[in-house]
Amino acid sequence: MRTALNSHMKRLFALLGLILLSASLGSCGASKPKPPPPPLHSGPVRTSNNTAYRTPALHGPVPRNPDMSLPADFAKGPRLSFSRVAVNDKYIAITFDDGPQPQNTPRLLDMLRARNIKATFYMVGSNVDLYPQVVRRVVAEGHEVGNHSYTHRLFSKMSDSDIRQELARTRDAIVRAAGVQPHTLRPPFGGMLPRQREWVNTEFGYPIILWSVDPFDWRRPGPSVVCARILSSTTAGSIVLAHDIHRQTVDAMPATLDGLLQRGFKFVTVSQLLAMQAEKATAHTAVGLPIP
């Protein structure tokens, strides 16, 4: 979901990032001196910008997401697009885009499993075809898989027939790999015209899933920054955007996931989050926030 920002936004974001970072870094593991490495674990993981960062090893119990049996069948409502969902409790959905990736995705799955967290993976169809065994593991461990196109091109500049082909090809690749159908769509870069959202929703049944928390992890700001940005921006009903193709993002996850659990957030899949919106909509009136 790489998005281009103009220079003003870049400066603003850099400033915001500094403020958020200083506020939240404490729980993201960078401000504390690192203990010596335990003898039973491997050495530090070196990130691409060459700052030593060690993925915290599991030395004992980690915070655990509660066991929940929640409906995932969402009713088709008046809204097509969601960047967050109005919920009655501290439910959130974390999403990982652009994979699967043969090293980082399995490492992330270990972290999620240790914490009983179910996530949603917006997979690129070409990667599904390359690494079907990773897709199978994602599904076997209870995570949701969504459609993120086959070649990750910007839909708003594509013809209807090309979009149709991208979506069908990815859906078929996921079915072939893991025997499940994707139920939601995240358009590459979040870019999709209202008219395209309409016909895709009618034809494929997909609601369009955007996000409300964006750590800009694709710019590789370092695991501590990714963690701090997510912790400082997540609220009840948030949809968190991250990318499991980047090692730094996965390096950021132990502290990020633990921080969110310690703040009382409960992780659900995107379809479970949407089902809560549907329940709420039938009980009251449909509540929706504007899409970006």
Q: Let me know if 284 is a catalytic residue.
A: no
* Cβ proximity to Ni ion, 1 vs 173, nearer residue: 1
* Cβ proximity to Ni ion, 13 vs 189, nearer residue: 189
Q: Let me know if 246 is a catalytic residue.
A: no
- The dihedral through the CA atoms of 288, 188, 24, 26 has a sign that is positive
Shortest Cβ 119–Ni ion spacing (Å) = 15
Stretch that binds Ni ion, among 39-47, 92-100, 154-162, 273-281 (CB under 5 A): 92-100
The answer to whether 138 touches 119, Cβ cutoff 8 Å, is no
* Cβ proximity to Ni ion, 209 vs 275, nearer residue: 209
**DSSP H or E stretch at residue 53:** strand 52-53
> Looking at the DSSP assignment, which residues form a beta bridge with residue 208?
81, 185
- x/- site string to Ni ion, residues 178 to 217, per CB under 5 A? ----------------------------------------
Residue 241 lies near Ni ion (rule: CB under 5 A):
no
Shortest Cβ 186–Ni ion spacing (Å) = 7
* Cβ proximity to Ni ion, 98 vs 258, nearer residue: 98
Catalytic residue among 143, 152, 243, 246: 243
What the block records as the tokens of 181 is: 């159908």
State which of residues 24, 29, 98, 147 lies at the interface with Ni ion (CB under 5 A).
Answer: 98
What the block records as the tokens of 275 is: 């089902």
**DSSP H or E stretch at residue 66:** none
What the block records as the tokens of 174 is: 């996921």
Residue 1 lies near Ni ion (rule: CB under 5 A):
yes
Shortest Cβ 185–Ni ion spacing (Å) = 12
Residue 166 lies near Ni ion (rule: CB under 5 A):
no
The answer to whether 112 touches 142, Cβ cutoff 8 Å, is no
Stretch that binds Ni ion, among 41-49, 54-62, 73-81, 96-104 (CB under 5 A): 96-104
Shortest Cβ 19–Ni ion spacing (Å) = 27
The answer to whether 89 touches 143, Cβ cutoff 8 Å, is no
- The dihedral through the CA atoms of 14, 17, 22, 27 has a sign that is negative
Which amino acid is it at 125? G
Q: Reduced to 3 states, what is the DSSP secondary structure of residue 219?
A: helix
State which of residues 95, 97, 111, 163 lies at the interface with Ni ion (CB under 5 A).
Answer: 97
Q: Reduced to 3 states, what is the DSSP secondary structure of residue 92?
A: strand
Number of residues that bind Ni ion (CB under 5 A): 3
* Cβ proximity to Ni ion, 185 vs 231, nearer residue: 185
- The dihedral through the CA atoms of 230, 233, 238, 241 has a sign that is negative
- The dihedral through the CA atoms of 117, 52, 104, 18 has a sign that is positive
Shortest Cβ 190–Ni ion spacing (Å) = 8
DSSP, res 35: P
* Cβ proximity to Ni ion, 115 vs 186, nearer residue: 186
Q: Active-site positions?
A: 97, 243
Q: Which residues bind Ni ion (CB under 5 A)?
A: 1, 97-98
